[in-house]
Amino acid sequence: MKDHHRRNSLKGIAIREGNVDLKGCEAQSRSNPSPRHFSPVRVSKDRIIRRLAGVRPYRPEGFVVKREQFEEKVVVHNYGHGGGGLSLSWGTAHLAMEEALAAGGSSCAVLGCGAVGLATAILMQKKGWKVTIYAKDLPPETTSNVAGGQWTPTSVYSPDEVTPAFRIQFCRASRLAYGYFQALVGDYYGVRWTENFWFEDKPFELPDFFAELSDLYQDLREVSPEEHPFPRRYGYRFTTPQIETPHYLNAILRDYRCAGGNIVVKTFHEPADLRVLPEAVVINCTGLGSKTLFDDSTLRPVKGQLTFLQPQPEIDYILTADQAQLYMMPRRDGILLGGSFEDDVSDLQPTAEFEERVIAGHRELFNALE
Ligand SMILES: Cc1cc2nc3c(=O)[nH]c(=O)nc-3n(C[C@H](O)[C@H](O)[C@H](O)COP(=O)(O)OP(=O)(O)OC[C@H]3O[C@@H](n4cnc5c(N)ncnc54)[C@H](O)[C@@H]3O)c2cc1C
């Protein structure tokens, strides 16, 4: 699935030998009159400060937001966000909130305390509901804490396997999430706007949703080789929110608690375990946990590893290259280097092999700037 995944993650908007084929996307194609300055990332092994790995809760058919009945309980599912769960969190939380409100009541249980569970719990609180989160692990021990923090709903589904109804749901969730994150820009939540660059050696296509969500990528445009020093001929630029993930999760966890939210550390093994809950409405935000808890065999772990270098506050852009096998995000807690999508791999052990590749790859990219 690795190649399949990458291939599918690069469809939609194509550069063809220097021309942008926007396939209906109304992105701007004007040339940039004043090339920006790119401060170089200093890539070397002796600057590594930590390494970690996580597993994306990936479903080729896309995330699940739906309501169903389990005995006396109404269960609203909200899981399976793949590589875009941080980005989509407030969006699918909004969809799940609508389902829960339609069920009626004034209190609910939220299963899971990652980005998706917390956003869902807070939206229910804002509707005046009493909310209790039940979760096996809390931040910083969630997959959400591993998310790099680029706002882009990428690697969420396989384009060949989604239904038209899912695409509508996906676009709505993306637009909602984009709106919610704009309200969080600032130091308290650790959200800011950042310029993104994506470079390749060959003509390439951006993921298909860039065209469908062109209103969220209004300044998307092609970048010519004269505009940047990186050793790649083809490129795009666009601006997105960027999230300082650990800082952000702490902030929304604080918000949830300050609004009177309870948290109970608890593991659920099967749907029958829900019977003990006092709440009649249960919102399931267990991410990959839904694979066993709700027996969803379409959900699978896609491992991603990150290597952090010492922080460089002067780096003010996100860089992606080589079919996302290399990416760099500047964060306050370090320069994040990533670029791995290992399908059906669930161990959380960082590997030396990844680190060698990602350090060598980024060194080659940034050496050109020195
Ligand atoms: C390397 C990497 C980089 C990423 N970068 C980005 C990025 O830049 N942008 C982006 O948008 N996304 C990114 N992602 C994807 C993102 O991390 C996930 O989509 C997101 O974290 C999913 O959130 P979640 O709340 O559904 O799951 P989780 O964060 O896994 O939370 C699930 C919660 O449910 C609980 N739980 C699970 N099972 C049970 C059970 N049986 N009983 C009780 N509780 C249970 C867990 O303990 C946890 O509290 C990245 C992922 C990885 C691995």
CA of 184 to the centre of ligand 1 (A): 20
Structure tokens of 127? 């509707």
Protein residue closest via CA to atom 13 of ligand 1:
147
The CA-based diameter of the chain, rounded to the nearest angstrom, is 64
For residue 69, the CA-to-ligand 1 centroid distance in Å is 25
Best CA proximity match to 243, nearest among 174, 309, 330, 313: 330
In testing the pocket of ligand 1, which one of 146, 213, 249, 358 has its CB within 8 Å of the most ligand atoms?
146
Q: Ligand 1 center to residue 121 CA distance, Å?
A: 15
- Ligand 1 proximity of 177 Cβ (cutoff 6 Å): no
CB 84 within 8 A of CB 154: yes
pLDDT of residue 66: 98
CB of 304 within 6 A of ligand 1: the answer is: yes
- What is the model's pTM? 0.93
Measured from the CA of 292, which atom of ligand 1 is nearest?
A: 41
Q: Specify the CATH number for 1-32+47-370; select among 3.90.1010.10, 3.90.550.10, 3.30.9.10, 3.50.50.60.
A: 3.30.9.10
CB 12 within 8 A of CB 211: yes
Tokens 């060598």 belong to residue: 360
Asked if residue 56 has its Cβ within 6 Å of ligand 1, the reply is yes
Would you list the domain boundaries of the chain?
1-32+47-370
Q: Is 12 in the pocket of ligand 1 (CB under 6 A)?
A: no
CA 34/CA 6 separation, integer angstroms: 33
Rounded Cα gap, residues 284 and 61, in angstroms = 18
- The finding on whether 235 has its CB within 6 A of some atom of ligand 1 is no
Pocket of ligand 1, candidates 123, 143, 288: which has the most ligand atoms within 8 Å of its Cβ, to mutate?
143
Say if ligand 1 is within 6 A of residue 346 CB.
Answer: no
Report the nearest atom of ligand 1 relative to the CA of 287: 26
For residue 147, report the distance from its CA to the centre of ligand 1, in Å.
8
Strands 234-243, 191-200: pairing is antiparallel
- CA-based radius of gyration for the chain: 20
> Of the residues 50, 52, 86, 302, which should be mutated to test ligand 1's pocket, given the most ligand atoms within 8 Å of the CB?
86
Encode the chain (370 residues) as per-residue pLDDT tens digits.
Answer: 343 344 334 444 444 333 333 333 334 444 455 679 999 999 999 999 999 999 999 999 999 999 999 999 999 999 999 999 999 999 999 999 999 999 999 999 999 999 999 999 999 999 999 999 999 999 999 999 999 999 999 999 999 999 999 999 999 999 999 999 999 999 999 999 999 999 999 999 899 999 999 999 999 999 999 999 999 999 999 999 999 999 999 999 999 999 999 999 999 999 999 999 999 999 999 999 999 999 999 999 999 999 999 999 999 999 999 999 999 999 999 999 999 999 999 999 999 999 999 999 999 999 999 8
CA of 362 to the centre of ligand 1 (A): 26
Instruction: Measure 56 CA to ligand 1 centroid, in angstroms.
Output: 7
332/252 Cα distance (integer angstroms): 18
